[in-house]
A and B are shown apart, each in its own frame.
Chain A
């Protein structure tokens, strides 16, 4: 058994998000809408050694199979993340995250003068210009967002 597996036991059913950039696990939960008040059993492992990334975070959500569109938004902050769907201790599906072409209600525009940062009845909308590195453009004011995206998560 490797050290990682010792830290968090395997789950029977649910979703394991692996290869999250170190330090981003809590932001991943935020993007997934998983807060302390959620019922789900959630394990978070941060800063474990990884062959691929040096260090990585892992999130395990029990008894819930996350949908593709839910997890794809994770690519905003953890483009190397892999999603494993677990049934009866077996990985039945494994896939990478792929950012959609438009992100709605996930990231707010960093431009304080943007109309999307007012009380108008609209949702923040970002067009994904490039996926690696992630480059977003606000649909309203066209301001680009590429660094510190996690700071602007809604």
Chain B
């Protein structure tokens, strides 16, 4: 089922391929929680983060180590050959000779695609500028599958839908599952028309509003994202918008009992800490699920048959 050499964008995944990754991740969960494994023993994963990252970098590292493999790290770009002016293409060719797979995060869009053209080993895109971040989408889908239901799903994507790369590829992936999608954002941060048109053309029912109360009673999943202060020239305008999307336990009283709240993290103040102890909060589960999903991808790309 899974015949990819690289993981670059969600668009390259069919629903069957996503399902096979989710299924494998589920079977690997005990190992993600600490059960010993030597599936990738002797294999080396290179982590090339040209931009800061906490969760993505550490969960890839955890995933590799939980499978018995080891990691090598570029460290900060300033301290490496990149600072001497080496091209990304050369860096990739060199490190491809050291490792069995490469994880890359880079500020330029399309950098992971470039890496895949020069790398002798599989490349996993961990974020290329405002471009793609497919492993985030896969872990989001896994979270929905585990904590709610991927079939007949009604989901609200809330916050910065214009610039937020995670919501774009999540919306695309959800369209493969026939989800009903509510897009909740301030008018200035609406999802780009081209993406909405693409969703509609796939038969996805898309509803757009700036008022979360309109949809809160119907949805199964509430996917919150951070609204970045720097998107607003006027600080007062930012305060107003940010306040209107601040999730509280009182607000959740209107929702279905089974509603789950997700967030790619880091959150700032769009979810108040009081929500953490409600039965709806799933964002810390979500960040944990990054480990089994990345374990599944590493195993699929690097092989390793020994259990």
Contact = CB atoms under 8 A, between A and B. Distances in A.
Contacts of B9: 142
A122 B194 contact: no
A48 B113 CA distance: 45
A36 interface: no
Interface stretch (B103-111, B244-252, B269-277, B299-307): B103-111
A140 B87 contact: no
B114 interface: yes
A119 B110 contact: no
Interface string A99-123: 0000000000001011110111110
Contacts of A122: 89, 114, 117
A141 interface: yes
A120 B113 contact: no
Contacts of B117: 122
Residue among B9, B106, B109, B110 with the most chain A CB within 10 A? B110
A115 B109 contact: yes
Contacts of A119: 87
A115 B114 contact: yes
Contact of A138 (B87, B88, B110, B111): B110
Contacts of A143: 109
Q: Which size bracket describes the interface of A in this complex?
A: 10 to 19
Contact of B88 (A114, A120, A139): A120
Interface residues of B, number: 18
Contact of A141 (B87, B88, B110, B194): B110
A144 interface: yes
A119 B108 CA distance: 12
A120 B86 CA distance: 9
B268 interface: no
Nearest to B132: A142
B113 A139 contact: yes
B194 A114 contact: no
Contacts of A121: 87, 89
A106 to B, nearest CB: 17
Contacts of B130: 113
Contacts of B129: 113, 141
A111 B130 CA distance: 11
Contact of B131 (A116, A118, A142): A142
Nearest to A119: B87
Contacts of B87: 119-121
A114 B109 contact: yes
Nearest to B111: A115
Contacts of A120: 87-89, 114
A114 B108 CA distance: 6
Contact of A140 (B89, B107, B110, B194): B110
List 4 tightest A-B contacts by C-beta distance, closest first: A140-B110, A141-B109, A141-B110, A115-B110
Interface of B: 9, 87-89, 106-111, 113-114, 117, 128-131, 194
27 contacts: A113-B109, A114-B108, A114-B109, A114-B110, A115-B108, A115-B110, A115-B111, A116-B110, A119-B87, A120-B88, A120-B89, A120-B114, A121-B89, A122-B89, A122-B117, A140-B110, A140-B111, A140-B114, A141-B108, A141-B110, A141-B128, A141-B129, A142-B9, A142-B109, A142-B110, A142-B131, A143-B109
